[in-house]
Amino acid sequence: MATSDSDSSVNGRVTRSTLPRMDRTDPPGYLQRYREREARSEGTPSAEMRDLERTESTPLYLRRFRDRKSGANALEERVPVWEGQDLGVTNAYSQITKTKEIVPESPEQAGAVLTTQVHIIRHGETQGYSTESGLTPLGGWQAHRRGFDISKSIKNDEQIRIVCSDTNRARRTAEGIRRGLLDGLTMWDRTAQISEVTSLEEFRNFQVWTPEGLRDVTGAFRLYKKEMEKYERVALGDRPTWLVEMDRFWSTQAGGADPITLWTQVPMLNFEPPSATVRRFWAGIQRIMAEHPGDRIIAATHSGPIRVFTINAFGYDAGEPYNTEEVIVRMMSNKSAFIAYRNRVQEVMVPNLEELPDWWAGLSGRALPLSLRAEG
């Protein structure tokens, strides 16, 4: 009789050899843990069932509202409060804007060392642009958070110089950044010398000429509205050029478009040219470096000049900076600078202001500004 490999013949009888049993009577570990969780939650509906019930019977807006109250995900966090006022936005929205910065090569590789780091920061959310108003509660929170975030990178005994534009919203932002720096340094148990806030004309917003002199484009809004109403009411005749250009600027915003893009792309005779604001920014940085060598610089200013500053560095428009978004400028010992903004770092040569062209040279008469014309 034929026998299988697992059988053996003893005294003519076939016997089956004893083999180890391979079947398991106990469940695997993952199944045991699953059953334990089910046993602990017995009597309560599973998460899947709860999600199914909400999906089938609960409107989306109501599910999101309940989520925010329960704290189950990022949208569920409590609405932040700043200085006793509800900011009215999620906690994630109120955080500072972060850039995934591309780190340039080390100073040893570049053959230069860092001499000054500059943070050029747009002001926080403002109450409006039709008046010279300050920040909203959210804007104050944004400024404080920006200062707190910068404090993480400050070393012991570092010197920090804080400057701003001469507008109320920029000064309030600079003051909020300073408070955030102080709070952060206290938390990290570090010491640093932080200056008081100083306004510098080099970091002011782009200007527009009016009959009352040069004005910030928002500071001239009331005069613009008053003059426009006068011309429309009494039909005085043709409007002056500055009023036509101001009307074009503010009508662009009223129509839902971007007036800053208009300023960067359309030449206007009564508006400060974008290239002039870039020149001013470099002049302000070099002025502070000369007066306070080695100090870190924090400048609170406006979106228009910041935007053209980055356009000049990158060669393209990276977009409008958000409230309290920053551009980082690292000044190197070899007269170069690394400019970091929105996931890109560009190395540029620091302009020698003494060598920049004088566009009025060789001109005379009415081609010159009134202040440069020869007397008599």
Is 247 in the same domain as 138?
Answer: no
- Would you state the pLDDT for residue 236? 67
Q: Which residue range(s) make up the domain with 261?
A: 207-265
**CATH code of the domain containing 176:** 3.40.50.1240
Distance CA 332, CA 107 (A): 9
**Domains identified in the chain, total number:** 2
* Domain co-membership, 326 together with 248: no
pTM exceeding the 0.85 threshold for the entire prediction: no
Residue 22 lies inside a defined structural domain of this protein: no
Q: Considering the domain boundaries, does residue 125 fall inside one?
A: yes
Angstrom distances, CA of residue 349 to CA of 6, 80, 296, 329: 85, 43, 19, 12
CA separation for the pair 280, 201 (Å, rounded): 8
For CA atoms 312, 318, 321, 326, give the dihedral sign. negative
- Residue 313 is assigned to a structural domain of this protein: yes
- The reply to whether 201 and 214 lie within a common domain is no
CA angle 91, 98, 196 (to 5 degrees): 90
CA distances from 141 to 5, 125, 206 (A): 81, 9, 26
Long-range CB pairs of 276-279, under 8 A, 24+ apart, other chains included: 277/206, 277/304, 277/305, 277/308, 277/309, 278/305, 278/308, 278/309, 278/312, 279/351, 279/353, 279/356
Question: 255 lies in a domain?
Answer: yes
Query: Per residue in 11-48, pLDDT tens?
Result: 555 555 566 666 767 777 778 877 887 777 665 555 55
Which residue would you say has higher pLDDT here, 267 or 91? 267
State the helix-helix crossing angle for 221-234 and 241-254, rounded to 10 degrees: 110
Whether 280 and 198 map to the same domain: the answer is yes
SS3 readout for 186-221? HHHCCCEEECCCEECHHHCCCEEEECCEEEECCCCH
The mean predicted confidence, pLDDT, of the chain is 83
Alpha-helical runs (H) found in the chain: 29-40, 47-57, 60-70, 91-94, 107-110, 137-151, 168-188, 221-234, 241-254, 259-265, 274-291, 303-314
For residue 96, is pLDDT > 70? no
pLDDT band for 163, please (50, 70, 90 cuts). very high
Query: Do 242 and 294 belong to one domain?
Result: no
pLDDT in tens, 260-295: 999 999 999 999 999 999 999 999 999 999 999 999
SS3 112: coil
Assigned domain for 173 exists: yes
- Reported for 103-108, long-range contacts at CB under 8 A and 24+ positions apart, including other chains, are 103/345, 104/330, 104/338, 104/345, 104/347, 107/332
For residues 347 and 284, state if they share a domain.
yes
* 35 belongs to a structural domain: no
State the Cα–Cα distance between residues 207 and 215, nearest whole angstrom: 5
Q: Which of 276, 263, 285 is nearest to 348 (CA)?
A: 285
Closest residue by Cα to residue 167 from 193, 192, 197? 197
Do 197 and 234 lie in one domain? The reply is: no
Question: Which structure tokens are listed for 239?
Answer: 């409007």
**Same domain flag for 279 and 169:** yes
Pair 165, 308 in one domain: yes
Q: Do 111 and 259 reside in the same domain of the chain?
A: no
Checking if the pLDDT of 56 tops 60, the result is: no
Q: Are residues 127 and 197 in the same domain?
A: yes
Are residues 195 and 335 both part of a single domain? Answer: yes
Quickly list DSSP for 24-55. Answer: --SPPHHHHHHHHHHHHTTTS--HHHHHHHHH
67 pLDDT band (50/70/90 cuts)? low
